[in-house]
């Protein structure tokens, strides 16, 4: 017994020692918040933090500010910076092993590390100088940590130094996020669909608009004609097998559900109490710990005005030296994803006599073959061979097997620069609208307002291709003269709106324009217009606005879009006395009309919609799967209009043969609704929206840890209101990565909230700071609060 007690004592001591050692290592990787540090700056840089961890950096010049921002980002966010650069470069397996190889293969074929070097070589010297300053600051911040960031300890890895190319890769990572991962699967599936169904049916399924559209310019587009039985008669076709149809869950997420996007809207000063414009923005992205954005206030002498100070408040993107969205005191700006067409498939005609050559308008040209080595961990991995044409890399094959090269605006050197920095000193909307089309970044809707009350909209991104001679929705042969991209849209020709007559602007990833402007932008798979229309209607319902009124729009979880579906469900169940549908009938009778956490009716109607759409579209998808087993319905906002036309007109020839009539289809969808919501044994009465829409905002490594440790890293699993197709976009791990409303010149009246907090370190006081405000919809002030930490970066003594 004495020996056993002694062994237990030693075991306890060992466990305590291990825990203390782990704690010391964790503590050593915390950012330095106070004191002085010798830095590579010309003049001192002051870094102050408030209780939320919002960093205020004050410097005597923009270069020192970039150095300081790199230092701060690296101290608190180096692992997140590393993930972004590695994701874009296709190098994640070096950290995570073989499980990351599939993503690395997809991304490495774009060779963005090599493209980054080419793009950077064309930047002006002052932009390169800022990137170098940021790089040096980031490496100094990393080196000054007493212990490398804790994530690398867990992975048993060491972080590689930051380079200027890495900052470019962070921008390319945003291209992947905002341009459907650069895969252009949508147009591949459009090609398969077009090759499999009659043209009138294709036009009916893939319509250019819907009655929900609410563009800034133009009207609702006319609906496509209903195909007659002479075009197709589903009653004469065999019933689709389960293998030929797509699961409802995929329809929900990709076809009629959530897409990376944003809400962005503004009202002119004529509608505000202080005469300044009000700009609201919430960018919808995958939510993680820490948040993708880093809150900051940046101050330095204004190089355009003697004695002036540039005072920036808003969001920075760790890995880059600029303020992404926010205010400079004169203007406030934000973005939404444009969903224009920024990728095209080019049919590559290979020389039958020499498979290393392909046809161009000037004759045969050699394919450029690149060998990229994918490494998993520290060991050499596989070699990826990439054949590249003048138009882009060959990454797919057409319906007839012809190789397809991907022409993607992101591949162009002009698609990357730091022109965004010029917004820091813009004085008014007119200047900002002139800057936006020169910025090398993904093409976005850009909404801006100024302190004098003006508002404006345009597109960002200086790589809008001019297309000629081909259908941009389908693969095309560019080896003939007069087909392909013929150059780039001039800045003067960009679509632009300044001070619209109704004093309001809005965008929410749906179609915003028409006519010749729409032809320039193209259609990359717009979101359904329901959310955009609800925002527009919310804005038109008021004549005076304060920041709180824009927050009310951002938090609007009314399910106006589902009201017709509720009416349809009620009509379907009204004359039905089946016992298996009685509970559905009772629970859905009362319509709250909101995606609230306690709403059961919302869950029921939402699921009924999904089941109905799946049932209606399944036979059309099956038609294509007979020829192309990998086919998936491409994301298209038109399905809502297509399905409603069928439900209202009830054409028997477009109804799958297993249903006797359209009412039978609806009753089957109602039964599928009950089955789907009760399959886990949960009673239908407990199918509240909050029980399904539970936050899963997690640190990337938390899944690798035991449950209690993983929960320590993650945000609480709370029920969240909101959903897609309404202003308050919210899923378990998707939604508003920030919300702000800013009156330029009146920043003290403005707010900025974001989930996940400033720091991903579980011991940091800023881990999860501000997250509760975001969950509750409570406006966190835009301006930093009282300083609680102060750090000085000092130049080396001579």
- Beta-carbon contacts of 86 under 8 Å, excluding residues fewer than 6 positions away, are 92, 94, 95
For residue 459, report the phi and psi dihedrals to the nearest 5 degrees: -105, 140
The helix or strand, by DSSP H or E, that contains position 73, with its residue range, turns out to be helix 62-89
Does 98 count as an annotated binding residue? Answer: no
CA end-to-end span of the chain, whole Å?
68
Q: Give me 700's structure tokens.
A: 């990337």
Asked if 335 contacts 444 with a C-beta cutoff of 8 angstroms, the reply is yes
- Beta-carbon contacts of 779 under 8 Å, excluding residues fewer than 6 positions away, are 547, 548, 551, 751, 753, 773
Burial 39-54 (b: 16+ CB within 10 A, else e): bbbeebbebbbbebbb
- How many Å apart are CA 701 and CA 406, to the nearest integer? 33
Quickly tell me which residue has 């044994």 as its tokens.
681
Asked if 265 contacts 550 with a C-beta cutoff of 8 angstroms, the reply is yes
Is 196 a residue of the active site?
no
Q: Give me 313's structure tokens.
A: 């408040």
Q: Of these residues, 262, 327, 672, 750, which one is catalytic?
A: 262
Q: Give me 476's structure tokens.
A: 């095309």
Q: Give me 557's structure tokens.
A: 């979880």
Q: Output the DSSP codes for 666-728.
A: HHHHHHHHHHHHHTTS--GGG--HHHHSB---B-TTGGGS-HHHHHHHSPP--B----SSSSS
Vertex 327: Cα angle to 321 and 332 (nearest 5): 125
Does 480 count as an annotated binding residue? Answer: no
What is the widest separation between alpha-carbon atoms in the chain? 93
User: 708: exposed, middle or buried (C-beta count within 10 Å: 0-12, 13-18, 19+)?
Assistant: exposed
Does 499 count as an annotated binding residue? Answer: no
- How many Å apart are CA 480 and CA 488, to the nearest integer? 19
Q: Helices marked H in 424-579 — which ranges?
A: 429-435, 515-521, 530-540, 547-554, 563-574
Vertex 268: Cα angle to 267 and 271 (nearest 5): 85
Phi/psi-derived region of residue 401, left when phi > 0, alpha when psi is between -120 and 50, beta in every other case: left
- Give me the helix-helix angle, 125-144 and 164-178, nearest 10°: 100
The 309-316 sheet, strands edge to edge = 35-38, 789-794, 45-49, 55-58, 294-301, 309-316, 323-327, 331-337, 444-450, 455-459, 496-498
> Between β-strands 368-373 and 363-366, what pairing exists: parallel, antiparallel or unpaired?
unpaired
Q: How far is CA 573 from CA 640, 677, 683, in A?
A: 21, 17, 19
Known binding-site residues for Ca(2+) equal: 187, 341, 344
Known binding-site residues equal: 187, 341, 344
Catalytic residues: 262
């Amino acid at each position: 017994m004495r020996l056993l007690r002694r062994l237990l004592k030693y075991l306890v001591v060992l466990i305590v020692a291990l825990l203390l050692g782990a704690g010391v290592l964790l503590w050593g990787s915390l950012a330095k918040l106070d004191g002085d540090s010798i830095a590579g700056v010309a003049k001192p840089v002051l870094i102050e933090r408030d209780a939320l961890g919002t960093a205020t950096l004050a410097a005597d010049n923009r270069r020192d500010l970039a150095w300081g921002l790199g230092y701060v980002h690296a101290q608190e966010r180096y692992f997140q910076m590393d993930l972004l650069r590695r994701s874009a470069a296709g190098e994640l397996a070096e950290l995570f092993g073989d499980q990351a190889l599939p993503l690395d293969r997809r991304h490495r074929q774009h060779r963005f590390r090599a493209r980054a070097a080419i793009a950077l070589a064309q930047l002006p010297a002052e932009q390169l100088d800022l990137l170098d300053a940021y790089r040096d600051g980031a490496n100094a911040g990393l080196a000054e940590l007493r212990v490398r960031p804790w994530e690398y300890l867990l992975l048993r890895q060491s972080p590689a130094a930051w380079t200027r190319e890495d900052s470019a890769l962070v921008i390319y990572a945003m291209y992947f996020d905002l341009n459907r991962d650069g895969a252009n699967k949508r147009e591949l599936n459009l090609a398969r669909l077009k090759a499999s169904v009659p043209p009138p049916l294709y036009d009916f399924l893939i319509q250019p608009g819907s009655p929900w559209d609410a563009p800034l310019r133009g009207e609702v587009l006319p609906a496509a004609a209903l195909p007659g039985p002479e075009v197709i008669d589903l009653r004469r076709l065999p019933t689709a097998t389960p293998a030929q149809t797509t699961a409802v869950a995929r329809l929900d997420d990709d076809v009629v559900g959530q897409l990376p996007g944003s809400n962005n809207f503004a009202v002119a000063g004529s509608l505000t109490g202080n005469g300044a414009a009000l700009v609201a923005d919430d960018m919808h992205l995958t939510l993680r710990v820490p948040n993708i954005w880093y809150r900051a206030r940046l101050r330095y002498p204004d190089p355009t005005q003697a004695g002036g100070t540039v005072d920036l408040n808003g969001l920075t993107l760790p890995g880059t030296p600029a303020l992404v969205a926010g205010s400079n005191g004169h203007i406030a700006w934000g973005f939404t994803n444009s969903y224009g067409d920024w990728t095209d498939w080019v049919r590559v005609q290979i020389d039958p006599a020499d498979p290393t050559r392909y046809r161009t308008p000037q004759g045969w040209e050699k394919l450029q073959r690149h060998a990229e080595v994918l490494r998993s961990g520290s060991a050499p991995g596989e070699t990826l061979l990439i054949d590249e044409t003048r138009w882009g890399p060959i990454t797919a094959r057409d319906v007839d097997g012809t190789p397809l090269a991907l022409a993607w605006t992101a591949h162009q050197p002009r698609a990357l620069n730091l022109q965004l920095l010029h917004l820091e000193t813009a004085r008014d909307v007119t200047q900002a609208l002139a800057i936006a089309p020169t910025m090398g970044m993904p093409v976005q809707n850009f909404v801006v307002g100024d302190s004098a009350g003006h508002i404006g909209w345009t597109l960002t991104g200086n790589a809008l291709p001019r297309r000629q001679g081909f259908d941009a929705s389908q693969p095309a042969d560019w080896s003939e003269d007069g087909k392909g991209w013929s150059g780039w849209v001039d800045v003067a020709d960009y679509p632009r709106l300044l001070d619209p007559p109704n004093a309001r602007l809005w965008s929410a990833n749906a179609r915003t324009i028409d006519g010749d402007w729409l032809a320039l932008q193209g259609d990359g798979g717009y979101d359904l217009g329901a959310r955009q229309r609800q925002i527009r209607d919310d804005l038109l319902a008021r004549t005076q606005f304060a920041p709180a009124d824009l927050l009310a729009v951002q938090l609007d979880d009314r399910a106006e879009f589902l009201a017709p579906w509720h009416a349809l469900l009620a009509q379907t169940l009204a004359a039905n006395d089946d016992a298996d549908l009685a509970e559905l009938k009772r629970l859905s009778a009362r319509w709250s009309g909101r995606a609230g956490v306690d709403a059961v009716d919302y869950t029921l109607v939402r699921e009924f919609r999904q089941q109905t759409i799946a049932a209606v579209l399944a036979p059309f998808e099956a038609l294509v799967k007979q020829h192309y087993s990998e086919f998936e319905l491409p994301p298209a906002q038109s399905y809502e209009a297509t399905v409603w036309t069928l439900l209202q007109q009830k054409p028997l020839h477009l109804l799958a043969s297993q249903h006797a009539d359209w009412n039978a289809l609806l009753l089957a969808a109602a039964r599928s609704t009950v089955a789907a919501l009760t399959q886990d044994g949960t009673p239908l009465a407990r199918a509240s929206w909050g029980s399904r829409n539970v936050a899963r905002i997690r640190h990337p490594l938390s899944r690798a840890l035991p449950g209690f440790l993983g929960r320590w890293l993650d945000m609480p699993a709370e029920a969240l209101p909101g959903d897609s197709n309404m202003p308050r976009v919210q899923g378990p791990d998707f939604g508003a990565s920030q919300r702000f409303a800013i009156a330029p010149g009146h920043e003290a009246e403005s707010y900025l909230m974001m989930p996940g907090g400033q720091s991903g370190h579980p011991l940091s006081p800023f881990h999860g700071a501000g997250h509760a405000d975001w969950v509750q919809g409570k406006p966190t002030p835009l301006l930093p609060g009282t300083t609680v930490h102060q750090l000085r970066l000092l130049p080396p003594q001579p």
